[in-house]
Amino acid sequence: DFGFDPLGLGEVPQNLERYKESELIHCRWAMLAVPGILVPEALGLGNWVKAQEWAAVPGGQATYLGNPVPWGTLPTILVIEFLAVAFVEHQRSIEKDPEKKKYPGGAFDPLGYSKDPQKFHELKVKEIKNGRLALLAFVGFVVQQSAYPGTGPLENLATHLSDPWHNNIGDIIIPRSILP
């Protein structure tokens, strides 16, 4: 908390703790999503939009690196994922200590990051800053996807860099066909 709160969201301390916890969780998801979107496209394995195509085929058999997943039908994967996330979220929701809600794991600290409180605080600040950057990157991916459906962020970047004057968001907002 650095005091910047133009909407007054942090006036109630209990709400502020909940907002901080929610922001941190969303940041962590974004930090997982952004590399998950960029790496497959960089490796030539398709983009994040086309990743769900296996779910549309009859039977919906999922594959991992070209091999069928034994439990690979979409409904089965969804049930497994729902149960796993529900268990973890239930465990987190019954925790009373707000710091343990935000930084779970307990004694699991194999690299010893939490031993020095000053260094641990510095790492927390780095985590939230990188998380906010990942949130903005993900919003950029979503906006880019709505402007150029079916293409990934790296493909759009390459197209833009090849001809920046003719391949940009301005062409979507103000199409050249309506210009004199």
Residue 17 assigned ligand-binding role: no
Q: Rounded distance, CA 1 to CA 28, Å? A: 18
Residue 99 assigned ligand-binding role: no
104 is written with which tokens?
């779970």
Residue for token pair 């942090």: 10
In the DSSP assignment, the letter for residue 178 is: G
Residue 155 assigned ligand-binding role: no
- Of 136, 90, 99, which is closest to residue 117 (Cα–Cα)? 99
Q: Rounded distance, CA 56 to CA 74, Å? A: 9
Residue 132 assigned ligand-binding role: yes
- Of 79, 72, 76, which is closest to residue 54 (Cα–Cα)? 72
- Angle separating helix axes 153-162 and 13-42, nearest 10 degrees: 70
Residue 118 assigned ligand-binding role: no
Tell me which amino acid residue 168 is.
N
Q: How many other β-carbons are positioned within 10 Å of the β-carbon of residue 82?
A: 10
Q: Rounded distance, CA 161 to CA 158, Å? A: 5
Residue 121 assigned ligand-binding role: no
Residue 28 assigned ligand-binding role: yes
Residue 115 assigned ligand-binding role: no
Residue 144 assigned ligand-binding role: yes
- Tell me the binding residues for chlorophyll a: 23, 26, 126-127, 130, 132, 144
- Tell me the binding residues: 23, 26, 28, 126-127, 130, 132, 144, 160
- Tell me the binding residues for chlorophyll b: 28, 160
